[in-house]
Amino acid sequence: MAATFAVLAVLGGVVVSGSERCVHGCQVLAAPRDLAEAQTPAVPASTPAMLSVMPAPAADKVNPSSPVVVSATAGTLTDVTMTNDSGKVVPGVLTPDHTAWKPTGPLGYGRTYTMKVLARGPAGMPSRQESSFTTVSPSKQTQVYFETTDGGLLQDGATYGVGAVVVAHFDEDIDDKANAERHLGHHEPAGGRIVVLDRRSDRALAAAEVLRAGHHRDGGRQRLWHPAR
């Protein structure tokens, strides 16, 4: 006989099936393309973004130089706005994948900053979060002015000759000269050096010999820049 039959005894009954003839009684179940995909549960549409904010909300006495970062560990950031207690917006930048934001401008002492964060969850659910922190208020701050050796005030953005000497004039006596030197710098290491002349406020610090501190080369002349704060 051309067809082969299999006879199975199941609980006293007999089931007869033809191995070569399966026209109406067959049911074909397709396997999933990716087993891992089939086993991964769908993300609920109501799941918000998971956010991490530094400094922590309501943090106090934060060093202005401490890192400030808003990141999305799940979902993405759509907008971050940071303002100080005067309402001034602090500029910032988002990463290309919209998972992190940080300010690009410096922070001040004794200020309260508020961050308003708009985000979307993994399935697109929008959310909003707001937090604030306060920076430390130092016991005192020293103001510094840049002058020539004869006491003339150097203007921000002005151009001066290569033989000029930059003097940093502090509005109070400087006891820690080494610390003062560390907090003054220049954008291009052109070979000059910064030296403390004395601790008196009327002649506190100068760039030696030629204008080598706080400048960049511009058409053969030197353009003054503020040293790093």
* Tens of pLDDT, residues 24-52: 554 444 445 554 555 556 666 778 999 99
Distance between CA atoms of 33 and 57, rounded to whole angstroms? 45
State mean pLDDT over 160-176.
77
Pick 182 or 90 by higher pLDDT: 90
Phi and psi, residue 86, nearest 5°: -100, 0
Percent of the chain whose predicted confidence (pLDDT) is above 70: 61
Q: Are 218 and 227 in contact (CB under 8 A)?
A: no
Lowest mean pLDDT among 78-92, 132-146, 191-205: 191-205
Say how many CA atoms lie within 13 Å of 131 toward its Cβ: 18
Lowest mean pLDDT among 2-6, 77-81, 90-94: 2-6
Query: Which one of 13-27, 32-46, 214-228 scores highest in mean pLDDT?
Result: 32-46
Q: 184-188 — which CB contacts under 8 Å span 24+ positions?
A: 184/213, 184/214, 184/227, 184/228, 185/213, 185/214, 185/227, 185/228, 186/212, 186/213, 186/214, 186/215, 186/225, 186/227, 187/214, 187/215, 187/216, 187/225, 188/215, 188/216, 188/217
Any idea of the CA torsion for 27, 28, 30, 31, to the nearest 10 degrees? Answer: 90
Distance between CA atoms of 227 and 215, rounded to whole angstroms? 9
Give the per-residue pLDDT at 31.
Answer: 46
For residue 176, the SS3 value is coil
Put simply, whether the predicted model's pTM sits higher than 0.75 gets the answer no
Lowest mean pLDDT among 93-102, 151-160, 166-175: 166-175
Nearest to 95 by CA among 71, 75, 74: 71
Q: Where in the chain is the domain with CATH 2.60.40.3780?
A: 50-135
What is the per-residue DSSP string for 138-174? -S----EEEE-TTSPBPPTT-EE-TT---EEEESS--
50-135 maps to CATH 2.60.40.3780:
yes
Distance between CA atoms of 154 and 158, rounded to whole angstroms? 7
pLDDT at 98 over 80: yes
Pick 212 or 139 by higher pLDDT: 139
* Tens of pLDDT, residues 56-88: 999 999 999 899 999 999 999 999 999 999 999
